[in-house]
Structure 1
Amino acid sequence: MGIVNPEERTARGRAYLMCPPEHFAVEYAINPWMDTSAPVDVELALKQWQLLRETLVRLGHAVHVLPAEVGLPDMVYAANGAFSVDGTVYGARFRYPERIAEAAAHRTFYLTGDWRFVEPVEINEGEGDFAYVPGAYGGLILAGYGFRTDPAAHAEAQEVLGRPAISLRLVDPRFYHLDVALAALDDNNIVYYPGAFSDASQRVLRQLFPSAVIADEADALAFGLNLVSDGRNVVLNSEASALAAKLRVAGYTPVPVELSELKKGGGSVKCCVAELRP
């Protein structure tokens, strides 16, 4: 594959929601990356988060801030709080009790804005397990399950949002959410690590996205797939240098950011950023 000219890729202004890590800590372990014995430098986490926010703003995007709440150390991972498409918001219902209260904070944000908010019945963790590819097949929801979100939530999201949902089974606990194994790069294409998915789900992805950028295990372990893309600029963890090179060959512009402290909770760029789709 030859190098694609980045000028052929088009950036589109986005709106995002983020929550500062003012109370960030690893006080419990609900994914394989969390180590309660590893100290967290909250000051450094705040600096890294602020740099991520400034990077998104510099790229021309609007960033809204959800106030952090005491007692919710994982609230910095704002992507998990809901999933929005065309002004409709499908709320989150967290699997673990430690995070349940986060859903109410996100609900309040959307209810104070011009959104149609739908309370979920099924367990789901927002954009942690839902990705949206708006130009594919008239708008396609890719939906992960296996560790956090219940498969029944995929049908519920499809009904709420009026877009077909494709269920993808995650099989490696290191990639416990869809957003650490797959990401939308633009309106029509994705990047993903095949080894995170069942054989059947891999076949589905190959059929739907034959031109996808394929990541390897090292890319995924570096949290490279936990990224945010505007169609041209791809903001990703600075540790994922190999994936950055692959994206550059595919015509995207990698924008590395350092998020070493926030990685201690099992997340990186995308986990910290919920996309708002009015």
Structure 2
Amino acid sequence: MLTGDASAFVAFARALPADLGPACARGAFLVTPEGFALAAQSAEDNRYMDLSRRVDPQRALAQHRALQRALSETLPTVAFAGRADTPDAVFPNNVFATARVGGAGRAILGHMRHAVRRREAERADIVGFFRDVLGYALHDLRAQPGICELTGSLVIDRARGIGFCGLSERCDETGAAAMHAAFGLRATLMFALAPGEYHANVVMSALAGRALAIAPDGFADPAVPAALARLYPHTVTLSREEKTGFAGNCIALSETRVWMSEAAADALVPATRRAFEVAGFALATVPLDEIEKAGGSLRCCVGEIF
């Protein structure tokens, strides 16, 4: 099912068993902020960026190293060196993603809107890691006509095989259909993001197949988040302020822990913290405020290996 009807999607998805695969990744990959800078092209449609702010590349690199150390305590985490000509490469999950389709590993390359991001997919080392080292089949979406920025635009519940695709300048319906097929999903809901929002993973996150963190004001149609709240036993509703602090850009890398930036956690009110606890998640945080100047946060930094 590939649909824009939230009620029909929820009715279909609720009947699906959580048997398509593990809910959480078995590994993670990062790209370090070498030569860290703000990309003017990306700022055209990312309101979380402010080109007037100065960035400190060394501080960004130190925070990123701390992120890798912290994540490696939960799952194997590899890092590729960044390059100065790809300043947004610190957010690799938009360009590279993995899936298991029919039991086989698949590496997916996204079709990025901006040229500065499209250069990232040309890196032979990252592509070779998935294809030649892990033995994953390459599924290249760059030549198809739709724009699709992978797990930035598409939030996935891996256990059920369902996707939540936010439409914006960074993803259109053609791109959504291409991702639906590439990830081997059973059902995908397409919905318009609110004006000013660029990626679905900033306004929502599916957590270990049993909970949803969601910021209703990030959706153009309030009926969509209301419908999605019926899909899981636990829904963590985020306010505008919590979303602006990047609390929606969180990720569950285990059944019991949700990762987000230190600034995102600081934005949470007590009731929201309690909602994560009730859903069975402890919060794990690292400071990423230097990297967040580039318009993304912790989940954007993490590529998942399934």
TM-score by length of 1: 0.87
Alignment partner, residue 151 of structure 1:
173
Q: What letter matches 2:121 in structure 1? A: A
> CA separation of 1:245/1:172 partners in 2, compared to 1, >3 Å: closer, same or farther?
farther
Q: What letter matches 1:84 in structure 2? A: T
Match of 1:247 among 276, 282, 286: 276
Match of 2:130 among 86, 90, 110: 110
Query: Are the equivalent residues in 1 in contact too, given 2:166–2:192 (CA < 8 A)?
Result: yes
Cα displacement string for residues 116-166 of structure 1 (whole angstroms, at most 9, x for unaligned residues): 111111211121111221233xx2122221231112112112222321222
Q: What letter matches 1:89 in structure 2? A: A
Residues in 2 aligned to 1:71 and 1:179: alpha-carbon distance in whole angstroms: 25
What is the percent sequence identity of the aligned residues? 26
Please state if 1:130 is matched with 2:130: no
Instruction: Compute the displacement of 1:96 (Å).
Output: 1.2
Instruction: Compute the displacement of 1:178 (Å).
Output: 0.9
Q: Secondary structure at the match of 1:208?
A: coil
Match of 1:50 among 21, 44, 65: 65
Query: Are the equivalent residues in 2 in contact too, given 1:14–1:62 (CA < 8 A)?
Result: yes
Residues in 1 aligned to 2:219 and 2:228: alpha-carbon distance in whole angstroms: 10
Cα displacement string for residues 192-223 of structure 1 (whole angstroms, at most 9, x for unaligned residues): 11110122422441343363221111110110
Match of 1:201 among 200, 220, 224: 224
Match of 2:91 among 74, 77, 82: 77
Query: Are the equivalent residues in 1 in contact too, given 2:106–2:139 (CA < 8 A)?
Result: yes
Alignment partner, residue 273 of structure 1:
302
Query: Are the equivalent residues in 1 in contact too, given 2:23–2:159 (CA < 8 A)?
Result: no
Q: Secondary structure at the match of 1:100?
A: helix
Query: Are the equivalent residues in 1 in contact too, given 2:258–2:283 (CA < 8 A)?
Result: yes
Alignment partner, residue 206 of structure 2:
184
- Count of paired positions: 264
Alignment partner, residue 169 of structure 1:
192
Cα displacement string for residues 169-194 of structure 1 (whole angstroms, at most 9, x for unaligned residues): 21131x31111111121123221111
Runs (4+) off by over 4 Å: 10-13
Q: Secondary structure at the match of 2:247?
A: coil
Instruction: Compute the displacement of 1:108 (Å).
Output: 4.1
Instruction: Compute the displacement of 1:101 (Å).
Output: 0.5
Instruction: Compute the displacement of 1:245 (Å).
Output: 4.4
Please state if 1:14 is matched with 2:26: yes
Residues in 2 aligned to 1:190 and 1:206: alpha-carbon distance in whole angstroms: 7
Q: Secondary structure at the match of 1:212?
A: strand
Q: Secondary structure at the match of 2:276?
A: helix
Query: Are the equivalent residues in 2 in contact too, given 1:83–1:130 (CA < 8 A)?
Result: no
Instruction: Compute the displacement of 1:13 (Å).
Output: 6.5
TM-score by length of 2: 0.80
Query: Are the equivalent residues in 1 in contact too, given 2:36–2:84 (CA < 8 A)?
Result: no
Q: What letter matches 1:182 in structure 2? A: M
In angstroms, what is the RMSD of aligned CA positions?
A: 2.1
Residues in 2 aligned to 1:82 and 1:204: alpha-carbon distance in whole angstroms: 30
Query: Are the equivalent residues in 1 in contact too, given 2:25–2:304 (CA < 8 A)?
Result: no
Q: Which runs of 5+ in 1 are unaligned?
A: 1-9
Q: Secondary structure at the match of 2:179?
A: helix
